[in-house]
Amino acid sequence: MKPKFSVSDLNLFYGNFQALHQINIEIPSNQVTALIGPSGCGKSTFLRTLNRMNDLVDTAKITGNIQLDGENIYSDIDVMKLRTRVGMVFQKPNPFPMSIYDNIAYGPRCQGVKDKQRLNQIVEDSLRGAALWDEVKDRLNKSAMGLSGGQQQRLCIARAIAMEPEVILMDEPTSALDPIATKKVEELMEQLKKKYTIVIVTHSMQQAARISDKTAFFLMGELIEFDDTNKVFTNPQDKRTEDYITGRFG
Amino acid sequence: MSRKVKDQLCNMLIWLSAAFSVGILVLVVGFIFSKGWSKISLDFLFNDYESKTQYVTLESDQAYQAPASLSESALFSENLGVALELKEDHYEIVWMDKESPLKEATNNADEKVKISKGDCVQQIKVSGKSLKLDKKTDQEEIVKALNENNTLVMKVMSVGGGIFPMIVSTLLLVLVALLFSAPIGILAAIYLVEYAKPGKLVNVIRFATEILAGIPSVVYGLFGMLMFVNTLNLGMSILAGGLTLTILLLPTMMRTTEEALKVVPMSYREASYGLGANKIQTLSKVVLPSAIPGILVGVILSIGRIIGESAALLFTIGTFAKLPVNPESGNFSLLETGTSLTVRAYIEVKESGNVEMAAAIGIIILIVVFTLNLFSRLIAKKFSKANN
Ligand SMILES: Nc1ncnc2c1ncn2[C@@H]1O[C@H](COP(=O)(O)OP(=O)(O)O)[C@@H](O)[C@H]1O
Ligand SMILES: [Mg+2]
pLDDT tens, residue by residue, B23-39? 999 999 999 999 999 98
For B271-310, give the DSSP string. Answer: HHHHTT--HHHHIIIIIHHHHHHHHHHHHHHHHHHHHH--
Model confidence at B387: pLDDT above 60: no
Contacts of B43 (CB under 8 A, 6+ apart): B118, B159, B161, B162
- Distance CA(A176)–CA(A153), nearest Å, equals 9
pLDDT of amino acid B159: 80
Which ligand 1 atom minimizes the distance to the CA of A15?
A: 4
Which residue segment(s) compose the domain that A241 sits in?
3-94+165-245
A146 lines ligand 1 (CB under 6 A): no
pLDDT of amino acid A40: 92
- Tell me if B275 and A87 make a contact (CB, 8 A cut-off): yes
Model confidence at B258: pLDDT above 60: yes
Distance from CA of B190 to the nearest CA of A (A): 16
Q: How do beta strands A32-36 and B75-77 pair?
A: unpaired
- Which residues, chain by chain, have CB under 5 Å from ion ligand 2? A 44
3-state secondary structure of B72: coil
pLDDT of amino acid B385: 63
Query: How confident is the model over A15-41, as a mean pLDDT?
Result: 94
Query: How confident is the model over B182-196, as a mean pLDDT?
Result: 92
What ipTM was reported for this prediction? 0.93
The percent of residues above 70 in pLDDT, for chain B, comes to: 98
Model confidence at B277: pLDDT above 90: yes
A43 lines ligand 1 (CB under 6 A): yes
Query: How confident is the model over B87-94, as a mean pLDDT?
Result: 85
Model confidence at B152: pLDDT above 90: no
A40 lines ligand 1 (CB under 6 A): yes
A87 lines ligand 1 (CB under 6 A): no
Q: Which ligand is nearest to the CA of A173?
A: 2
Looking at the structure of chain A, the number of domains it has is: 1
CA dihedral B143, B148, B153, B154 (to 10 degrees): 0
Domain assignment of residue A135, yes or no: no
Closest Cβ–Cβ partner in A92, A97, A110 for B275 = A110
Query: How confident is the model over A28-46, as a mean pLDDT?
Result: 94
A157 touches B at CB < 8 Å: no
- Distance CA(B247)–CA(A23), nearest Å, equals 53
Here the CATH number for the domain that contains residue A203 is 3.40.50.300
Q: How far is the CA of B194 from the centre of ligand 1 (A)?
A: 22
- Distance CA(A10)–CA(A28), nearest Å, equals 18
A57 lines ligand 1 (CB under 6 A): yes
**Burial group, residue A227, by CB count within 10 angstroms (0-12, 13-18, 19+):** middle
pLDDT digits (tens, 9 = 90+) for B50-87: 888 888 888 888 888 888 888 888 888 888 888 888 88
**Which residue in B333, B335, B313 sits closest to B325, CA to CA?**
B333
Q: How far is the CA of A9 from the centre of ligand 1 (A)?
A: 19
**Which residue in B95, B335, B136 sits closest to B236, CA to CA?**
B335
B308 and B280 Cβ atoms separated by less than 8 Å: no
Domain assignment of residue A77, yes or no: yes
For A111-129, give the DSSP string. Answer: TT---HHHHHHHHHHHHHH
The percent of residues above 70 in pLDDT, for chain A, comes to: 99
Q: What is the pTM of this model?
A: 0.81
In the structure, what pLDDT confidence band is assigned to residue B386 with cuts at 50, 70 and 90? Answer: low
A106 touches B at CB < 8 Å: yes
Domain assignment of residue A14, yes or no: yes
pLDDT of amino acid B57: 86
B332 and B291 Cβ atoms separated by less than 8 Å: no
B282 and B276 Cβ atoms separated by less than 8 Å: no
Model confidence at A250: pLDDT above 60: no
pLDDT of amino acid A191: 87
Beta-sheet strands, E only, within B127-276 = 129-132, 151-158
Model confidence at A32: pLDDT above 90: yes
- Tell me if A163 and B268 make a contact (CB, 8 A cut-off): no
* Alpha helices (H) along chain A: 43-49, 79-85, 100-110, 116-129, 133-136, 149-161, 179-192, 205-211, 229-234, 239-245
Domain assignment of residue A173, yes or no: yes
Contacts of A37 (CB under 8 A, 6+ apart): A43, A217, A218, A219, A224, A244, A250
pLDDT digits (tens, 9 = 90+) for B102-132: 888 888 877 777 788 888 888 888 888 888 8
Q: Count of CB atoms within 10 A of residue B244's CB?
A: 28
pLDDT of amino acid B154: 86
pLDDT digits (tens, 9 = 90+) for B291-319: 998 899 899 989 999 999 999 999 999 88
Angle between helices B238-262 and B217-224 (to 10 degrees): 130
Domain assignment of residue A155, yes or no: no
B124 and B133 Cβ atoms separated by less than 8 Å: yes
- Distance CA(A97)–CA(A231), nearest Å, equals 43
Closest Cβ–Cβ partner in A92, A97, A110 for B277 = A110
pLDDT of amino acid B73: 82
Domain assignment of residue A122, yes or no: no
Candidates A94, A109, A156, A167, partner chain B, best to mutate (most B CBs within 10 A): A94
A52 and A83 Cβ atoms separated by less than 8 Å: yes
Backbone φ and ψ for A14, nearest 5 degrees, come out as: -100, 100
Distance from CA of B257 to the nearest CA of A (A): 19
Count the residues in chain B: 388
Model confidence at A215: pLDDT above 80: yes
Atom 11 (ligand 1) nearest CA: A19
- pLDDT, greater one: A152 or B154: A152
Q: How far is the CA of A208 from the centre of ligand 2 (A)?
A: 15
**Which residue in B267, B291, B253, B283 sits closest to B384, CA to CA?**
B291
pLDDT of amino acid B196: 87
Q: Count of CB atoms within 10 A of residue B110's CB?
A: 7
Query: How confident is the model over A18-46, as a mean pLDDT?
Result: 95
B-chain residues near A106 (CB < 8 A):
272, 275, 277, 285
pLDDT digits (tens, 9 = 90+) for A96-147: 999 999 999 999 999 999 999 999 999 999 999 998 999 999 999 999 999 9
Domain assignment of residue A182, yes or no: yes
Distance from CA of A41 to the nearest CA of B (A): 21
Distance from CA of B378 to the nearest CA of A (A): 20
Domain assignment of residue A102, yes or no: no
Model confidence at B172: pLDDT above 90: yes
How many CB pairs below 8 A link A and B? 66
Contacts of A144 (CB under 8 A, 6+ apart): A95, A96, A97, A98, A99, A100, A103, A152, A155
Q: A164: left (phi > 0), else alpha (psi -120 to 50), else beta?
A: left
Model confidence at B151: pLDDT above 60: yes
- pLDDT, greater one: B14 or B212: B14
Q: What domains appear along chain B, each with residue ranges and CATH number?
A: 52-158 (2.30.42.10), 164-387 (1.10.3720.10)
- Tell me if A110 and B278 make a contact (CB, 8 A cut-off): yes
Model confidence at A63: pLDDT above 90: yes
Query: How confident is the model over A158-167, as a mean pLDDT?
Result: 95
A216 lines ligand 1 (CB under 6 A): no
Question: Which helix (H) or strand (E) segment is B252 a member of?
Answer: helix B238-262
Average pLDDT, chain A: 93
B-chain residues near A111 (CB < 8 A):
276
